[in-house]
Amino acid sequence: MTLPNLVIIGSAKSGTTSLHYYLDRHPEISMVAPRESGGLHDNDVGGKEMRLFWREDWRERLSWYESHFADLDTPIRGEATPAYSAHPFHPNVPERIHTVIPDARFLYIVRDPIDRIVSHYVQQRTDGDRRSFEERMREYDTPENSIVCPSRYATQIDQYLKFFPPSQLLVIDQHKLKHERRETLSRIFAFLGVERDFWDPAFDHERNTRADKYALTPVGERLFYRLIDPAGRRLAPQRWRELRPSVRRGLSEKIADPPVVDGELREKLVTFLQPEVDRLRQLTGEQFEGWSL
């Protein structure tokens, strides 16, 4: 089978959409996005994610997965699914990847873990989860907490090191991708074995920023999912793919103010996540100077 030899595994809300876009501009790299197979995505995040290896039926969908890479002739063929680093909310992902692409290289982009949690919460609000931040944080230390476990960076790396050597994994600081983009992309290109000095004017732009986040209003949610979206899928599925985002946006309100993490909750999260950050520094040799932990 023709399969990827590069996977961006996360972490969610750390710049994976921008990184996917930058890599795809390189003439020696092809990054795929899923062709529709019955579903429609609400945002740019879902639009790029292949979401194969977290599924229990992943083996049955391998031919669909392979079809995205079959016609690519670039040396590097990749995909990006940030939730591949969300153990144990999505378990067994590294083992499944190793079963079919044991020689794959991995890019793991990380950011300040508390800032990432806040951004992940905003994203899930955009996707329709109406629970408050306080409710989501009541069980912040539960391993399966879907917006906290991706910030346990060392734990996520450990899952991959059970099946892959460290030489196949590159950890990237989102702060450096944002503020030292040329140097960071050069390092990534060198890791992938492609022309490291390639530059494109598109690299000056970011994708999927917080300014883009909208959530359906309560009335808009009922109208959209009960009436408008089913009708669009049924009556004009091809055209609806183009119209759906703007229609959804028209029934939404902008998420203006992200939650603030301070006081006792910040102290708890720092205590919980500091060992993860300390071990991440040991594993990578990076200092992550711009972080709050």
- Report helix angle 263-284 to 153-161, nearest 10: 30
Is residue 259 a contact partner of residue 118, using CB atoms and an 8 Å limit? Answer: yes
Question: Treating both helix axes as pointing N-terminal to C-terminal, what angle do 113-126 and 263-284 enclose, rounded to 10 degrees?
Answer: 110
Q: In this predicted structure, what is the pLDDT of residue 249? A: 74
Can you tell me which residue has the tokens 């009556």? 235
pTM higher than the cut 0.75: yes
Q: So what's the pLDDT on residue 209?
A: 58
How do the domains of the chain map onto residue ranges? 6-211+265-284, 214-254
- The predicted pLDDT at position 98 comes to 98
With H, G, I as helix, E, B as strand and everything else as coil, classify residue 78.
Answer: strand
The pLDDT value recorded for residue 36 is 60
Angle at 51 between CA 32 and CA 288, to 5 degrees: 85
Q: What is the pLDDT along the chain (293 residues), one digit of tens a residue?
A: 689 999 999 999 999 999 999 999 999 999 999 876 434 444 344 468 999 999 999 999 999 999 999 999 999 999 999 999 999 999 999 999 999 999 999 999 999 999 999 999 988 888 778 788 999 999 999 999 999 999 999 999 999 999 999 999 999 999 999 999 999 999 999 999 999 999 999 898 876 555 566 767 777 777 887 888 888 888 888 788 778 878 877 877 766 678 889 999 999 999 999 999 999 999 999 999 989 99
**Which CATH class, in words, describes the domain spanning 6-211+265-284?**
alpha beta
Residue 64: the pLDDT is: 93
Residue 211, pLDDT score:
56
pLDDT at 256: 64
Pair 53, 85: CB distance under 8 Å? no
